Amino acid sequence: MGEYFGFAEELLRKNRAKKGNPYANAELYDLLVSEGSDDRFYIQFAAEQGGRVLDLACGSGRLIPALLDAGLSVTGLDLSPNMLSRAATRLGTQASKVALVEGDMRSFSFQEPFDTIIIPYCSIMYMHSDADRLTVLNNCYNHLVEGGYLVFDFLAGVVELGEGWPELALQGMHPLTEEIFLSVVQIKGLTSDLRLLNQINYIYPKEPGQPEITVYASKEAVLEPSRMVGLLEQVGFSVEGVYASSALEEYSGGEECLIMAHK
């Protein structure tokens, strides 16, 4: 069980939990994750550029209704069919106005270029090598109009090696079923730029009973901003800003970084 460690490994070994798909219950995820300032930033930035916007790793489409309301032509791409289905449900009668595409950010292909490409929620962390990151950045560059923008955030800094302490990531109650949802994560540093995350999800039914316990593992890349800037420049982008957050204060350290670059 090389993907699992600590309590997650013990739960699997003792058959107390099953491996799960982190994106299988997109509706519950949406109920527990509220809109933040980063959402508003991406929407406002894309609206200022106008035209066509590509939301890479769009997930359940949290940003898409507001992007539509801003008068933009929107395409959303994601690997997960469950998340795309949830995005279509969220959009309702507006779903026909959006191109929702199942695909990989390393290999997407569209006929018309975009004015803006966004990669929110640190989704580029799932690209674990410079080769993969360069493939994504090249693909973005080739799908932008001249002067078009790529804006994204990512996990920044240096990974601390070894196992960290478990932490509560999410908690809440489903407003319809009244199921209680708890999510605990633990991180293990593998190298200076790669970490392994184990997440244990507990879903407690409304009526007394045993919780459903699922675990999943994912690897996340963490980069120094200077390294990401170097990759962007290698592709041909001009980096306009390296920020600590969507408030656009200059990056001077921290666990997240936002970069704005144009073609």
Nearest to 105 by CA among 72, 74, 80: 80
Cα distances (Å, whole numbers) of residue 201 to 119, 167, 218: 26, 12, 14
The residue whose two tokens read 């997240």 is 256
For domain 34-155+224-262, which architecture applies?
3-Layer(aba) Sandwich (3.40)
Domain boundaries, the chain: 6-21+158-221, 34-155+224-262
Nearest to 103 by CA among 76, 140, 141: 76
Q: What is the pLDDT along the chain (263 residues), one digit of tens a residue?
A: 589 999 999 999 999 999 987 666 656 566 555 555 688 999 999 999 999 999 999 988 889 999 999 999 999 999 999 889 989 988 999 989 999 999 999 999 999 999 999 999 999 999 999 999 999 999 999 999 999 999 999 999 999 999 999 999 888 887 778 888 888 999 999 999 999 999 999 999 988 888 899 999 999 999 999 999 999 999 999 999 999 999 999 999 999 999 999 99
Q: How many residues does the chain have?
A: 263
**What is the Cα–Cα distance from 24 to 82, expressed in whole angstroms?**
6
- Give the DSSP per-residue string, 114-135: EEEEEE-TTGGGG--SHHHHHH
